[in-house]
Amino acid sequence: MTNSFQIIGGKHRSRKFSFADAEGLRPTPSKVRETLFNWLQFETHGKTFLDLFSGSGALSFEALSRGAKQVVSVEKNTNALRFLERNKQLLKADNLTIFQQDAFEFLDNKPKAPFDLILLDPPFNKNYLAKALKLISAHNFVTAGGKIYIESEFEITMEFLTTHFLTKTNISKQKKSGVVHYCLLDLIKTCV
């Protein structure tokens, strides 16, 4: 088994981690991760992250390396979860909480506190993205002025967002790498 990824930046830069060989598991490519965290620049330190459909945990561990205060990873695949737990131990990451749970069951419960950033990389071609966005918005999973990162098999449009996401948002960045479209959404703070 040679599945591995390497942390690109931060205090754990160049650390390598193994991940499970599981159906549909495709870790965010290093080039895409690098672009995402360049977009976020100094916005990760001290922030709380929710990594739904965590898979290999590449995004979770990158966020931790770059100073995230707390990361919550949600993954239902038992094999993938074993590797997440093992990598958490290797990194001694006390600020990583891992839930073995279906992402939609997790989103059915209101969070204790909303997250600053949500990492959303669901399996492709299953219509999970629309369902996840509706639940994130309905249950206030992200702070006002927070961000959502999305990986998808199609380009995210404002029409798609207004149909599936109840919170006002802007697409601040969007790119494509191979078959993967990825973008960063900024939630608009509303004045009361």
pLDDT band at 192 (very low <50, low <70, confident <90, very high): very low
∠ CA(40), CA(44), CA(50), 5° rounding?
A: 100
Instruction: Calculate the alpha carbon distances from 157 to 13, 115, 119, 170, 173 in Å.
Output: 33, 23, 18, 10, 12
pLDDT band at 84 (very low <50, low <70, confident <90, very high): confident
The first and second tokens of residue 139, run together, are 């249950």
Q: Given a cut of 60, is residue 45 above it in pLDDT?
A: yes
pLDDT tens-digit map of 153-187: 999 999 999 999 988 899 999 999 988 899 999 99
Q: pTM for this structure?
A: 0.86
On whether the CB atoms of residues 23 and 17 are closer than 8 A, the answer is no
Q: Given a cut of 50, is residue 1 above it in pLDDT?
A: no
pLDDT tens-digit map of 95-130: 989 999 999 999 998 888 999 999 999 988 889 999
On whether the CB atoms of residues 165 and 133 are closer than 8 A, the answer is yes
DSSP string over 125-143: TSSHHHHHHHHHHHTT-EE
| Rounded (10°) CA dihedral 175, 35, 136, 112 | -170
| pLDDT of amino acid 48 | 96
Of 138, 133, 131, 149, the C-alpha closest to 185 is: 149
DSSP string over 40-90: HGGGSTT-EEEEET-TT-HHHHHHHHTT-SEEEEE---HHHHHHHHHHHHH
CATH placement of domain 4-20+30-187: 3.40.50.150
In the chain, pLDDT over 70 holds for what percent of residues? 83
Of 31, 87, 28, 14, the C-alpha closest to 59 is: 28
